[in-house]
């Protein structure tokens, strides 16, 4: 089971949160093509640390237009399908 350290601290210790099925495990091709590693990495967001329930805005790369755009994960998955 993969885990990641949450930014929230409890009594000076990092909280370890389990990720049962990360985005990389579920959609490896989508991550390889559309995930913007540099832009999301600046915010500390990595595809192996989030699941489908992530509700924040993320950066994605559109290879057809060679542009980056911000969108919600569910909407980006729907566009890519």
In a domain, 46, yes or no: yes
pLDDT of residue 72: 96
Residue 4 has pLDDT above 60, yes or no: no
Report d(CA 33, CA 14) in Å as an integer. Answer: 32
User: In the chain, what is the straight-line distance between the N-terminal and C-terminal CA atoms, in Å?
Assistant: 27
In a domain, 52, yes or no: yes
Q: For the whole model, what pTM was predicted? A: 0.73
Instruction: Render pLDDT for 14-49 as a digit per residue (tens, 0 to 9).
Output: 444 555 688 998 999 999 999 999 999 998 899 988
In a domain, 17, yes or no: no
Report d(CA 56, CA 46) in Å as an integer. Answer: 13
In a domain, 10, yes or no: no
Q: Which domain holds residue 45?
A: 22-80
Q: How many domains does the chain have?
A: 1
Q: Report residue 70's pLDDT band, with 50, 70 and 90 as the boundaries.
A: very high
Which pair of structure tokens corresponds to residue 6?
């949450």
């Amino acid at each position: 089971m993969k885990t990641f350290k949450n930014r929230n601290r409890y009594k000076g210790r990092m909280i370890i949160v389990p990720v049962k099925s990360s985005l990389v495990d579920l959609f490896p091709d989508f991550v390889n093509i559309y995930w913007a590693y540099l832009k999301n990495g600046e915010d500390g967001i990595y595809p192996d640390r989030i699941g489908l329930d992530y509700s924040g805005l993320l950066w994605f790369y559109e290879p057809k237009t060679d542009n980056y755009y911000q969108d919600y994960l569910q909407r980006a998955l729907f566009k890519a399908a």
